[in-house]
Amino acid sequence: MRLRNQDGCLRCTRRKTGPSCWEFLWRENDADGNRTRRTAVIGTVEQFPTRDLAQVAVNGLRMCINQDRNRQREQSIAAADLVDHYIGTELSDEADWHSHATRIVYSEFLKRWIRPHWGRLGIRDVRTVAVERWLKQLCRVNGEHLADATKAKIRNLMSVLFNHAIRYEWLEQGRNPITLVRQSAQRKWTPEILEPHEIQGLLLQLNSCFRLMVLLDVTTGLRRSELLALRWSDVDFSNLELNIVRSIYLRKVGNCKTEASRKPVPLDAHVAADLWLWKEASKYSKSDDWIFASPRTRGKFPYWPDVLLLKIIQPAALRAGITKRVGWHTFRHSYSSLLVANGENVKVVQELMRHASSRFTLDVYSQARKGAKRHAQERVVQMILPESFEDAVPAISLEGTQNDAAQSASLIICREVGPRICYGIALKKQELRTTNGAFWSNEKRSEDR
């Protein structure tokens, strides 16, 4: 049976009190099969000043009304309608699938990139190769190409969008055109990590609660939205634990990023003592107060993270002689890398970072320190070339090389590896020269010719 499309009617209605509001009217069959008129309030004229904005807001509702009709294969569904339905059902405040920060980012990507370009096409007309070409030419307002990581996020969101259509049976199973879209997610630069002496220098340049803020972040690995969302009631001083139960983004409190993020975090006794001292000194020390409450808002909100980073933390890093790119996530990356460098169990590192997968912890967040890599390499060399084995191996001959080339190589080594290592290399070269006299005699004869 072919079902009729319900376009509905949008009207602006005056109210006795308050601003006028937009109403959407349509008809549907009730339980007895009778046609009944339905009405839904979309919002006020203050929320949607123009009819066009109200029409965009009502598209998601229109898709829900016609969802049985949209399951018929002969029906064409525009990508713009799919985007509006996804925003209304998955990214609304009532939906708890994503954190508030994720909902903001997804909505921005959909409205800025996906909907303007693909909105007029039907969801069955989107092609894999066309999406690949579109991703390659994406640019910012200043003409700079988008980073590959950003393009990968847009690609993944488009895949989620078409899976949403499959879930509502508006597309057949296996008809997601984004599945075979190729897009690199390579970063422009490797995330920076801070060495222990750099963290110490940074802490010495910070005062008051800002020092405690960085110390707490770099010793627990909290995300910035979780760090600034801490209340005094979340600190269990008797058991030395932090209960992570919320996050804050753009001054809106929401859930944590994932289920694994809601696990308690151990608290070191030294850090707990600093927290207790700050609680005694702070004006906002009640159980429901923010730990890092902003005096500018009289404790109503915590500090703004971007302002802290720009005006407090990054200038302190420069004063400490740190030339690396320092951001809030730098402390989280440093925490993970230092745990790995200390030889901690991978499962322990994953639990402390509160990741759902240990593979994500090692591949994305953890980096091997330079000193650890050098010591590991030296242990392998010592296994292959022990002291007893060096006497039995003939020295390497440098026959055929020029003196000036050897000198330039020495200069390059000195510049790149430093004087201490260069001194060790020079001693080794001297040892080779004394043990391989035949080479130098042959080299002398070749020069005389």
* Separation between Cα atoms, residue 210 and residue 219, nearest integer Å: 14
Residue 289 lies in a domain: yes
pLDDT of residue 339: 84
Q: Is residue 126 domain-resident?
A: yes
116 and 214 co-located in one domain = no
pLDDT tens by residue, the chain, 449 residues: 445 556 678 888 888 888 888 888 877 766 676 777 778 888 888 888 888 888 777 776 776 766 665 555 556 788 998 998 899 888 887 777 787 888 889 999 999 999 999 999 999 899 999 999 999 999 988 888 999 989 999 999 999 999 999 888 888 888 899 999 999 988 777 888 899 899 999 999 998 889 999 999 999 889 999 999 999 999 999 988 899 888 888 888 877 777 777 788 888 888 888 899 999 999 999 999 999 999 999 999 999 999 999 999 999 999 999 999 999 989 988 888 888 888 888 888 888 888 777 666 666 666 666 666 666 656 666 654 566 655 555 554 545 444 554 554 444 444 445 555 555 555 554 554 554 444 444 444 444 44
Q: How far apart are CA 413 and CA 406, in angstroms?
A: 10
- Looking at 148, 167, 186, the residue that finishes a domain is 167
Look at residue 290 and tell me if it is in a domain.
yes
Instruction: Supply the pLDDT for residue 443.
Output: 45
Total domain count, the chain? 3
pLDDT, residue 442, reads 47
Task: Quote the pLDDT of residue 70.
Answer: 58
Domain shared by 263 and 152, yes or no = no
Query: Do residues 161 and 227 both lie within one domain?
Result: no
The whole-number pLDDT of residue 208 equals 81
Helix-, strand-, coil-residue percentages of the chain, each rounded to 5: 50, 10, 40
Q: What is the residue whose two structure tokens read 């970063």?
A: 187
419 plus 290 within the same structural domain: no
Predicted confidence at residue 387, as pLDDT, reads 64
236 and 159 co-located in one domain: no
Query: Has residue 142 been placed in a domain?
Result: yes
Structural domain contains residue 136: yes
pTM for this one?
Answer: 0.63
Separation between Cα atoms, residue 314 and residue 155, nearest integer Å: 33
| Structural domain that includes position 49 | 9-167
In a shared domain, residues 201 and 298 = yes
Residues 141 and 94 in one domain: yes
174 domain-assigned: no
Alpha helices in 194-258 (DSSP H): 196-204, 208-220, 224-227
Considering only CA atoms, which of 440, 444, 421 is closest in space to residue 432? 440
Tell me: do 269 and 403 sit in the same domain.
Answer: no
Task: Say if 40 falls within a structural domain.
Answer: yes
Shared domain for 67 and 142, answered yes or no, is yes
H helix or E strand, kind and range, residue 254: strand 252-254
Last residue of some domain: 321, 347, 365?
A: 365
231 within some domain: yes
Task: Residue 20: count other Cβ atoms within 10 Å of its Cβ.
Answer: 12
Q: Could you tell me the CATH number of the domain that includes residue 206?
A: 1.10.443.10
- Residue 174 Ramachandran class (φ > 0 left, ψ -120 to 50 alpha, else beta): left
- For residue 13, which phi and psi values (nearest 5 degrees)? -115, 135
Same domain as 355, residue 249? yes
Sheet with strand 241-242: strands edge to edge = 235-236, 241-242, 265-266
Radius of gyration of the chain (CA): 32
Same domain for 32 and 156, yes or no, is: yes
At 229, is the secondary structure helix, strand, or coil?
A: coil
Residues 250 and 104 in one domain: no
The residue from 347, 365, 383 where one domain ends is 365
Residue 200 corresponds to which tokens in the numbers above? Answer: 């110490």
